[in-house]
A and B are shown apart, each in its own frame.
Chain A
Amino acid sequence: MKFKKAAIRNFRLLRNVDITFSTDEKTHLTIIRAANDSGKTTTLTALQWGLYGDRALPNKGRDFRLAPLDWDRSKNSVVDIQVIIEFEHYKQIPLGAGKYEHETIVYRLIRSAVETLHSDIDYSRIPSTVSLFELTDQGDLPITKPEVILDDIMPAELREVFFTDGDRALSFIEAESSLSLKRKRVKGAIRSLLGLDIIESALDHAKAATRVINEKLARHSKDSNLATIATELSDKLKSLDRLNTAYTDCHDKSETNDGQLAEIEININNILVRGNEEDLKNERDKNIRLIQYLSQQREDLDVKKSDLLFKQSIAYGLTNNTVDIAMQKLNSLKSKGTIPSSTISVLQERMKTSSCFCGESIDEHTTEGLKRHNHLKDVIQNSQSADEKNKVLGELFYDMRSVDAARATFSDNWREEYLRLIKSGETLKSQTLTAEKTRRDIDLKLGKLKGTNHAELKSLKSTLKQAGRELDEKKGSLGHRIKLLERDLKDLEARREKAGKSEKLKNSKMSELDAARDIVSILEETLQNIQHEELDKVSEKMNQYFLEMICSDPEQGAIIRKAHLTRDYDILVYGPKGQKLNPDVDINGASRRALTLSFILALTTVSGYESPNVIDTPLGMTTDEVKRSILLKSIAYSNQLVLFLTRSEIYLCEDILDDAGVVQTMTNSAHFPEKLASKPPTEYAEVLVCSCNHRQYCSICSRIGDDKRKELSYRNEV
């Protein structure tokens, strides 16, 4: 199976996202470049929801809202959510005599759900529906039971093999899972890929047939001893069946119990990390008040910015050169005396005294004083004789003189004020975005906390622990009874053999019984072979891939010598002296990623299953050499590889990615202006997809500083 394309609508941040996948055999690598918080994990979840439905959502979809968080309810409170996936599948058509013909069928899957938003937090959703169409030359043919086809092509047990979240600390070896849960995941993946369920079902069928033949033998035997043995055998086989069923049931319950216990422990830890609901609500209220305050601050800032447009400084700043001409004219008139002084009355008063303002004498009785007295008299007379026009010009001159000194700085002052307001605006916007993100985070935490209670969880944990102990006891007792019964059966079979020989009974029923027992033993052997041999093959391949991936890291190379998959489905890692290492503690993050990827790729290689591997952030926490090595091996050992990579994961691997069949870039519009260089063409917080490859950036995906990165070049959009 290979993905061809996907269209995702209104799925959280993915309001309108289209992705194309490379299906080319030689260049089967698809890269989706995306920074952190740019929809990588959401896309992974959306694709899984498309294929597996609501059970593939976190917490099985409980308290997990699908509609975008910033959806405008006032416009429409009903949100249509849809994921459309087109994929091709190779079907093997038997021609007889062990020959097969391969046919490629293209399907289109449509998963839809409708969510009704009652408030910013409350919503309701009806379970999703799925439709499947076979795309043929004659048109799209609807498939009546899509779940059957989907389960055949992409079994749910293999979900974590097809879709891997590198950041989620790797489910097959992660620390937060209990041992039984890890085993269950590994076992589930292996059983499904190797087809163990089919053989087990055949074995059950053969065992049932053996019982039936044995009963017939008991009924038809002429020898009373043989008939008694056969009856006893039949009864004991029935008992063994019952005990085996009870044991399996008990074992499954015990594993489920372990899983639930692990989940509760995680939830309890999460609650301790998240804080209690009351605190979160208070924090939310505080946050809302902060957002309101910031919004008001921004409104006030807008008023100040708008006022800037009407200031005297902007008018003079823009027209200074023209006003300069006017001032020259007025100054010239003033120096010629055409513009009268506005202090005539003051001068007239001063003329009545004998000294000027400057202290010099204006006494008419002295020669120098008379000279000055006459000069002032002339000035007063000239001014008084000015006409109305000059009076107006005079008033303009004196008014303008008070502005003139400041005029030279108007322009600078205005710009200074403008830049100060712009800076304040940017700070407020950034604070608002941070506050809004905090509110979204709190809402998310509140959503997750809804219905959970610390005390209840602790009580449930204690109940589950008790149940686990009881189940273990029951398992022990059943196991003992099974052993005794198997011993009895062995004795009875030996006695029957003996009695049959002594009677020289070689009737057809005995032959049938022999044949049925042979089939059972062949199937048991086959099952054991597959369980052991194929498991060993997976183990061997996993070890090979893992060591190839981490070989370039001398530090880890010195610590790790071998990775091994046990027959109990545990993934183990060994050091140089054969000592067992704990994957959670003793090996670094890069090696843990490499180990999970190796297991997944080994499993797909051994099973021969042609399936895509969609992996989110596979190269995080890796050194450059290991990163390149993981990338090259993952490409080499998969059929269709889809990688979600950050820029730092891509860095220094560009040459390898040049061979990718498809490269696209995802961008979160909410990252503007903190991280994105250009304003996105949307008013919502949503993921935008552009066709920029790992060496390009454009006006949509350009991040601050991209223009300075040598490995990137600008792509003009067509």
Chain B
Amino acid sequence: MSKYLNPYQNQELRYPKEFSESINDYLIGREEDKKKKHALRQRPFKRIVDIWMLALCLGVKKGKKRDLDRDHSVKFIEGSIFTNDHWRVNFITALIIGIEDNVDIIANPRKVIQLANQYAAGGFSEIFNGMGESNMDPLDNILEMVDVILEDSVVPS
């Protein structure tokens, strides 16, 4: 896809309202947070869109999809955020084609992001459960969780 083309420019990225507090807990937003020693270990994510992307991947991996209506969800940004990370545009498009097993879906960017929001909604709980799972710090917990999933996914040669 042309690196200047972002079909999701005006689409709303959303997350379930119930995760607002958890998202805030794991986001290293404020300056005072950053100054704290080893703050990243407790708050590993810099932007909500980063949590959303990981949630989308985990939601797809685990086949978890949740309906998301406007009343029970929060819009945090529009798809224009992807313009700087163009690989994400291609990735989301390919992912949704793969899920729907249909290339025609690309004609409907709204539908693509709606589906992505639904899978991300399913993946949020995976992230938050994973981060608080063991005695380690949230950053180490989530990395270990991803590592285990990737290790399990390896097809023996």
Minimum CB–CB distance for B41 against chain A, Å: 6
- Would you call B143 and A312 a contact (CB within 8 A)? no
- Would you call A326 and B50 a contact (CB within 8 A)? no
Minimum CB–CB distance for A679 against chain B, Å: 5
Closest to A312 in B: B87
Given the known interface contacts A303-B40, A326-B95, the answer about A415 and B149 at a Cβ–Cβ threshold of 8 Å is no
Minimum CB–CB distance for A171 against chain B, Å: 43
- Would you call A411 and B1 a contact (CB within 8 A)? no
List CB contacts (< 8 Å) of B28-82 with chain A. Answer: 37-38, 40-41, 44-46, 50, 53-54, 57-58, 60-61
- Would you call B46 and A319 a contact (CB within 8 A)? no
Q: What is the interface residue range for chain B against chain A?
A: 35 or more
Q: Indicate which residue in A325, A395, A415 contacts B151 across the interface (CB closer than 8 Å).
A: A415
List CB contacts (< 8 Å) of B122-146 with chain A. Answer: 135-136, 139-140, 142-143, 146
Interfacial chain B residues near A305, Cβ < 8 Å: 40, 44, 139-140, 143
CA distance A266 to B102 in the complex (A): 86
Given the known interface contacts A295-B37, A314-B54, A329-B97, the answer about A306 and B151 at a Cβ–Cβ threshold of 8 Å is no
Interfacial chain B residues near A315, Cβ < 8 Å: 53, 57, 88, 91
Count of A-B contacts judged by CB separation below 8 Å: 127
Closest to A419 in B: B147
Closest to A397 in B: B1
Interfacial chain B residues near A298, Cβ < 8 Å: 38
Interfacial chain A residues near B149, Cβ < 8 Å: 318
- Would you call B91 and A312 a contact (CB within 8 A)? yes
A364 within 8 A of B: no
Interfacial chain B residues near A35, Cβ < 8 Å: none
Q: Indicate which residue in A333, A395, A422 contacts B1 across the interface (CB closer than 8 Å).
A: A395
List CB contacts (< 8 Å) of A297-353 with chain B. Answer: 298-299, 302-303, 305-306, 308-310, 312, 314-327, 329-330, 333
- Would you call B95 and A319 a contact (CB within 8 A)? yes
Minimum CB–CB distance for B80 against chain A, Å: 18
Minimum CB–CB distance for B40 against chain A, Å: 4
- Would you call A309 and B44 a contact (CB within 8 A)? yes
Q: Indicate which residue in A316, A319, A329 contacts B103 across the interface (CB closer than 8 Å).
A: A329
A392 within 8 A of B: yes
Interfacial chain A residues near B104, Cβ < 8 Å: 389
Given the known interface contacts A323-B94, A395-B1, A396-B93, the answer about A314 and B101 at a Cβ–Cβ threshold of 8 Å is no
- Would you call A318 and B58 a contact (CB within 8 A)? yes
Interface of B is mostly: helix
CA distance A575 to B4 in the complex (A): 97
- Would you call A319 and B57 a contact (CB within 8 A)? yes
- Would you call B41 and A302 a contact (CB within 8 A)? yes
Interfacial chain B residues near A326, Cβ < 8 Å: 93-95, 97-98, 103
Q: Indicate which residue in A295, A302, A333, A400 contacts B94 across the interface (CB closer than 8 Å).
A: A400
- Would you call B54 and A322 a contact (CB within 8 A)? no
Minimum CB–CB distance for B54 against chain A, Å: 6
Closest to B28 in A: A306
- Would you call A392 and B106 a contact (CB within 8 A)? yes
A414 within 8 A of B: yes
Given the known interface contacts A329-B97, A396-B93, the answer about A306 and B40 at a Cβ–Cβ threshold of 8 Å is yes
Closest to B151 in A: A415
- Would you call B2 and A395 a contact (CB within 8 A)? yes
- Would you call A306 and B139 a contact (CB within 8 A)? yes
Minimum CB–CB distance for B125 against chain A, Å: 16
Interfacial chain B residues near A324, Cβ < 8 Å: 98
CA distance A327 to B60 in the complex (A): 16
- Would you call B57 and A314 a contact (CB within 8 A)? yes
CA distance A392 to B53 in the complex (A): 23
Q: Which of A305, A333, A679 has the most CB of B within 10 A?
A: A305
CA distance A325 to B94 in the complex (A): 9
Closest to A339 in B: B103
CA distance A683 to B97 in the complex (A): 48
Q: What is the 8 Å Cβ interface bit string for chain A, positions 491-502, against chain B (1 contact, 0 not)? A: 000000000000
B153 within 8 A of A: yes
- Would you call B90 and A399 a contact (CB within 8 A)? yes
- Would you call B99 and A322 a contact (CB within 8 A)? yes
Interfacial chain A residues near B135, Cβ < 8 Å: 679
- Would you call A395 and B143 a contact (CB within 8 A)? no
CA distance A647 to B46 in the complex (A): 47
Given the known interface contacts A298-B38, A312-B87, A414-B150, the answer about A323 and B61 at a Cβ–Cβ threshold of 8 Å is no
- Would you call B106 and A393 a contact (CB within 8 A)? yes
Interfacial chain B residues near A316, Cβ < 8 Å: 91
CA distance A320 to B2 in the complex (A): 23
Interfacial chain A residues near B143, Cβ < 8 Å: 305, 308-309, 418, 422
Interfacial chain A residues near B54, Cβ < 8 Å: 309-310, 314
- Would you call B103 and A400 a contact (CB within 8 A)? no
Interfacial chain B residues near A299, Cβ < 8 Å: 37-38, 40
Given the known interface contacts A314-B57, A318-B58, A319-B60, the answer about A330 and B46 at a Cβ–Cβ threshold of 8 Å is no
Interfacial chain B residues near A414, Cβ < 8 Å: 146, 150
CA distance A403 to B89 in the complex (A): 13
Given the known interface contacts A316-B91, A324-B98, the answer about A396 and B106 at a Cβ–Cβ threshold of 8 Å is yes
Please name 20 further chain A to chain B contacts, defined as beta carbons within 8 Å, in addition to the given A299-B38, A315-B88, A415-B147, sorted by A numbering: A306-B40, A309-B54, A314-B57, A315-B57, A317-B153, A318-B58, A323-B94, A323-B95, A325-B97, A325-B98, A325-B99, A326-B93, A330-B97, A389-B106, A393-B103, A396-B106, A414-B146, A418-B143, A418-B146, A422-B143
Leading 9 A-B pairs by shortest Cβ distance: A322-B98, A325-B98, A326-B98, A326-B97, A318-B57, A326-B94, A302-B40, A395-B1, A679-B135
A-B contact pairs, 5 of them (CB 8 A): A325-B97, A329-B102, A330-B94, A396-B106, A414-B150
A positions within 8 Å CB-CB of B:
295, 298-299, 302-303, 305-306, 308-310, 312, 314-327, 329-330, 333, 389, 392-393, 395-396, 399-400, 403, 411-412, 414-415, 418-419, 422, 679
